[in-house]
Amino acid sequence: MKSRGNADSLEAAIGDRIAGRRGPPPEMDLPRYAVDRAAHRLRGVPFVESPNCDARPDADDISLLVVHAISLPPNQFGGPWVERLFTNRLDPAAHPYFETIKGLKVSAHLLIDRGGRVAQYVPFHMRAWHAGESCFDGRRRCNDFSIGIELEGCDEQPFAAVQYTRLAQVAGALMAAYPAIRPARIVGHSDIAPGRKTDPGPHFDWTRFIYGLEYPR
């Protein structure tokens, strides 16, 4: 498992980006996403409301970004299944695996699919149910203070180039809107739930992602 903390060159990448020594690679072509702070939604992306959320203990405490990976059925991409899971409309009869997660109530704030399409399911000031039992920097219950982004992907296959592009764009917009989120506070699910979760998995290139970030300094 390759976690954020074990990526040897990650801290150097962060330092280079902060010092302005290296910008995003040419293919990033970053159009500017922005967060509507009144609605706590990402402008220009579809919003599909998930019932799997509730109020944060402190709506102003948004200070962590968690990167996940999801595929339904496992290791398969495409189809409506992730959205149906997030909206409690997943038919257990549609695939044998779905019967094993029947009744599961989860969500993420955002999903980035293999084609780079972004969708939002929970407003950012609300608590999405994405991290589960978790701990960051000695603080438990990461759902309380984090934003969760799911990438359509798995441990066995590389992510699409466009997913890195979109993730960098979206993360930059979130960092501008919620300045307590800094590069050092962007983690994988495996970093906050070690031994329980492996995503975003060994194929996620943290250095590539960090180099692509555009954020206020």
Tokens of 92: 């257990």
| Strand duo 186-188 + 35-36: pairing | unpaired
Q: Where are the domains of the chain?
A: 4-212
At 27, the pLDDT band (50, 70, 90 cuts) reads: very low
pLDDT of 21 above 70:
no
Q: Is residue 4 a contact partner of residue 186, using CB atoms and an 8 Å limit?
A: yes
Q: For the sheet containing 110-112, what is the strand order? A: 118-120, 110-112, 146-152, 64-70, 186-188
pLDDT of 2 above 60:
no
Task: Output the average pLDDT for the chain.
Answer: 90
pLDDT tens for each residue of 70-105: 999 999 999 999 999 999 999 999 999 999 999 999
Question: If we measure between CA atoms, which residue out of 83, 77, 81 comes closest to residue 48?
Answer: 83
- Token pair 């995003």 is found at 24
C-alpha atoms less than 13 angstroms from C-alpha of 110 in its C-beta half-sphere:
29
Q: Which residue has the higher pLDDT, 17 or 142?
A: 142
* Domain formed by 4-212, architecture: 3-Layer(aba) Sandwich (3.40)
- Lowest-confidence segment of 3-12, 22-31, 101-110, 192-201 by average pLDDT: 22-31
- Token pair 């992510």 is found at 159
Q: Indicate which residues carry an active-site annotation.
A: 150
The pTM (predicted TM-score) of the whole model is 0.89
